Amino acid sequence: MSIDKTSTHDTSTHDDAPVDAPAAAADAVTAVDPRLLVREQGFAGYVTEFKRKMRAGDLGSIPVVAGLVIIWAIFASMNSRFMTAENLSNISVAMVGTGMIAVGIVFVLLLGEIDLSVGSVSGVAGAVAAVLAVTHGAPEWIALIVAVLTGTVIGTIHGFFFARIGAPAFAVTLAGLLFWQGFMLQILGDNGTINLDSEGLIAKLTSYYFTDVAAAYGLAIVAVVAFFLSSFLDSRRREAAGVPSRPLSEIVVRTAVLAVVAFAAAIMFNQYKGLPLALVIFLVVLVGTDFVLRRTGYGRKVFALGGSVEASRRAGINVTLIRTSVYAIAGTFAAAGGLFMASKIAAANQGAGTGDLLMNAIAAAVIGGTSLFGGRGRTWNALLGVMVITSIQYGLALEGIATPVQYMITGGVLLATVVIDSVTRKTQKTAGRA
Q: Which residue has the higher pLDDT, 244 or 157?
A: 157
Residue 349 DSSP SS3: strand
Interaxial angle between packed helices 403-430 and 43-56, expressed in degrees from 0 to 180 and rounded to the nearest 10: 100
Q: Which residue has the higher pLDDT, 7 or 386?
A: 386
Q: Dump pLDDT digits (tens) for 127-150.
A: 999 999 999 999 999 999 999 999
**Band of pLDDT at residue 421, cut at 50, 70 and 90:** low
- Residue 65, pLDDT above cutoff 50: yes
Averaged pLDDT, 357-380:
87
Provide the pLDDT for residue 41.
55
Q: Which DSSP helix (H) or strand (E) runs through 369?
A: none
**Band of pLDDT at residue 54, cut at 50, 70 and 90:** low
CA distance 1 to 229: 27
Provide the pLDDT for residue 66.
84
Q: Any idea which of 53-67, 91-105, 132-146, 323-337 has the lowest mean pLDDT?
A: 53-67
**Band of pLDDT at residue 373, cut at 50, 70 and 90:** confident
- Residue 172, pLDDT above cutoff 70: yes
Averaged pLDDT, 200-214:
94
Provide the pLDDT for residue 25.
41
**Band of pLDDT at residue 153, cut at 50, 70 and 90:** very high
Q: Which residue has the higher pLDDT, 237 or 412?
A: 237
Q: Which residue has the higher pLDDT, 414 or 381?
A: 381
Q: How far is CA 61 from the centre of its chain?
A: 12
Q: How far is CA 192 from the centre of its chain?
A: 32
CA distance 333 to 103: 7
Q: Cα–Cα distances in Å, from 362 out to 45, 234, 288, 380?
A: 36, 32, 20, 14
Provide the pLDDT for residue 128.
95
**Band of pLDDT at residue 37, cut at 50, 70 and 90:** low
Provide the pLDDT for residue 6.
40
Q: How does the average pLDDT of the chain come out, rounded?
A: 85
**Band of pLDDT at residue 27, cut at 50, 70 and 90:** very low
Provide the pLDDT for residue 55.
62
Provide the pLDDT for residue 243.
76
Neighbours of 94 (CB within 10 A): 19
- Residue 322, pLDDT above cutoff 60: yes
CA distance 300 to 231: 20
In terms of average pLDDT, the best of 27-41, 67-81, 160-174 is: 160-174
Q: Any idea which of 1-5, 133-137, 252-256 has the lowest mean pLDDT?
A: 1-5
Q: Which residue has the higher pLDDT, 68 or 218?
A: 218
Q: Any idea which of 10-24, 274-288, 307-321 has the lowest mean pLDDT?
A: 10-24
Q: What percent of the chain has pLDDT over 70?
A: 83
Q: Any idea which of 117-121, 155-159, 405-409 has the lowest mean pLDDT?
A: 405-409
Provide the pLDDT for residue 46.
64
Provide the pLDDT for residue 21.
43
Provide the pLDDT for residue 428.
61
Q: What percent of the chain has pLDDT over 90?
A: 56
Residues 6+ apart with CB under 8 A from 4: 30, 32
Write b or e for each residue in 10-33: b if 16 or more Cβ atoms lie within 10 A of its Cβ, otherwise e: ebbeeeeeeeeeeeeeeeebeebe
- Residue 241, pLDDT above cutoff 90: no
In order, the DSSP letters of 83-120 are TSHHHHHHHHHHHHHHHHHHHHHHHHHHTT---S-HHH
Q: Going by DSSP bridges, is the β-strand pair 193-195/347-349 parallel, antiparallel, or unpaired?
A: antiparallel
